Amino acid sequence: MPSPHRHRGPRAGSSTFIGLALTLVASGACLDDPLAALGGRVDGLLCAEDTGFPLPSTGLTLGGQQGKTDRDGEFSFENVPPGSTELVVNGARRDRTLNVEVLAYGKTTVFVDDACRGMPGGPGTGGIRGQVCNRHIGQVLRDANVQVIAAGEEILASTTTDDNGLFAFDALAAQDVLLKISAPGFSRVLALTIEEGEVTEVDLGQCLLPELSQGFLVGSLCDPVAGGPLVGAYVSAVDADGAEATDLTDTDGSFLVGPLAGGDAIVSIAGPGVSLSYQARVIGGQDVVVVEELECPSDPEDPIDGTATVRGRVCAPGADHDTWLTGAVVTVDLPNGDTLTTTTDGQGRWTLTGLPPGEHVVHIQAGSFSDTLTVTLEDGETLLIPDGECAIDLLGARIAVIDGDWDDVGSVLTHVGVDPTMVTEFGRYEWPESLFADYETLASYDIVFINCGTDESDYLATPAMQENLRQYVQNGGSVYASDWAYDIIEASFPDYIDFVGEDLYPQSAETGSEGVYAATVEDPELLGALSTSAISLNYPLGSWAMIEAVSPSVRVFIRGEANSYETYYPSIPHTVSFAVGEGKVVYSSFHQEPGVNLQQEQVLRLLMFQL
């Protein structure tokens, strides 16, 4: 059945607010004016009774008003009648009723659920909470013993994990501590800092059941600066499928990352004064040692050869320089053959420490775009490259853009500074034959952008073209497709994204209703760049293509609610990517069109550098 046509009209879920002009008469009678009974604002936090953790996306009613908590368990209501009011929390098994004392008009009541644990507490204190998983078997650890240990081995607090592997501590004095977790066949000790007024999250929950083809990478490291084990360093590994696993080194400098797909993987380790990169081969069903430094000197005689540091930022070269590039890889090849590697943070910043004096070439890679800069360092110098020199040189990549009726990826490329000479445009009817029929022509481009609303009929009817696209990505090419172009992705890469509707019928996923939807940024790099996990997605036109689910190897950037013409979906992927061989595919249900908001535009600009 053909999908409904797109139409313009009122946005789904929109509201019209009518202002009320109130005139107050100065007289004694005003003391009894009913306006004095107008309510106040209530901001609150709800938690699960069994775990004490924040309760996300949960319906509730307060003073006759209905709402729900956000992803952090927080909620807010305006104009709630003052006095004692019932807060009804919708539960899967039963509703829970709490009492809230609402302050008068103009005041804000702050309500914190008594069920909440792992809260900061009073002045000078903070909290700790987390989840523990035995990654080898992909199961949460129940009844594991968790201790918070201060200097001098004093046990400050202890607890056990619940049925979900969760634990929490309240109101601990702000200080450096050790977190010791032990269970039969499992033991870890992590160094943590309890910050005043903050909750330290310990994420040991990467609980994915390993497949037979997956393995783990392990290692132990010494601190080259301070001596002893390298404690609290961030370890990340990217496997042959492009999936990432992370860990923190514990108090003996050890780490374990996985499960990872069999094949070559890159391991990056970053900590104070340390930036290392290793290549390793993952073997299914095994723990492969990446690096093993078992005897760490307490006072190394020659901790590092280099004492110089260089810092900088990476941004897109658009006129405004307002797109800081997160996750860009920055490397320097040292004279002895070693490589120092780091990645940019959410604001595009990077630091390389431990460089010997002399001239060095810094290599910067952001997706298909690369650049180099040359620096000369003195012994012990810290060189700060000015922000005005942050722009990465985008020359060198060849880009094909397939025209469509609804998307305008060209404006996104222009904003981030892509030179028009790098771009070749293909008409919405001619592109299958002129670009995809000949593999060598297709392979001459680094990135292919497929706009929403292009004509797909010839491509979908030609298996040889689909095979050319698969080979193109397998050999390192990148593809970006949006909205209605989903049929191209579904036909060429059917195992990664499950779109709504019947796979064999083109256009069957185009059922999304226009409206503004609440969503969450799930990808750590994108989250760092946007500095918020909450995002609103505006779909100004209906009949947009909806994703129902994705395979475990797919990277989900944004997940949120959505309405089709028949069904409400509380949480589906909106923007995703996946790796195939050496290449990558990025797909987004929303795209550049009149009506999208600034957050969506920023996401689309950042996606250019994931290709």
pLDDT tens sequence across 188-215:
888 888 888 888 887 765 677 778 888 8
Residues 277, 342 contacting (CB under 8 angstroms): no
Mean pLDDT, contiguous 10-residue spans, the chain (611 residues): 29 26 30 54 84 82 89 86 89 82 81 77 82 77 86 80 82 86 80 84 71 84 75 84 84 85 85 74 82 64 62 77 79 82 80 86 86 87 83 79 78 73 88 93 92 90 94 92 92 92 84 91 78 84 91 90 90 92 91 77 80 72
pLDDT tens sequence across 30-43:
334 444 456 788 88
Strands 568-580 and 583-588: antiparallel
User: DSSP strand E in 314-395: where?
Assistant: 329-333, 339-343, 349-355, 358-366, 369-377, 382-384
Give bridge partners of residue 566 from the DSSP assignment. Answer: none
Residues 44, 73 contacting (CB under 8 angstroms): no
Give the pLDDT score at 4.
30
Give me 219's structure tokens. 């290692």
Give the pLDDT score at 166.
82
Q: Which domains does the chain carry? A: 33-112 (2.60.40.10), 125-204 (2.60.40.10), 214-292 (2.60.40.10), 308-389 (2.60.40.10), 399-610 (3.40.50.880)
- The closest alpha carbon to 520, from 568, 564, 482, 573, belongs to 573
| End-to-end Cα, the chain, rounded Å | 34
User: DSSP strand E in 226-343: where?
Assistant: 234-238, 244-248, 254-261, 263-271, 274-282, 287-292, 308-313, 329-333, 339-343
Residue 557 belongs to what H/E stretch?
strand 555-563
Helix/strand/coil (H/E/C) assignment for every residue in 505-555 = CCCCCEEECCEEEEEEECCHHHHHHHCCCEEEEEECCCCEECEEEECCCCE
Give the pLDDT score at 26.
31
Sign of CA dihedral 365, 366, 372, 377: negative
- The closest alpha carbon to 367, from 478, 475, 448, 456, belongs to 478
Q: If you write DSSP's letter for every residue of 82-116 in order, what string do you get?
A: SEEEEEEE--SS--EEEEEEE-BTT-EEEEE-TT-
Radius of gyration of the chain (CA): 27
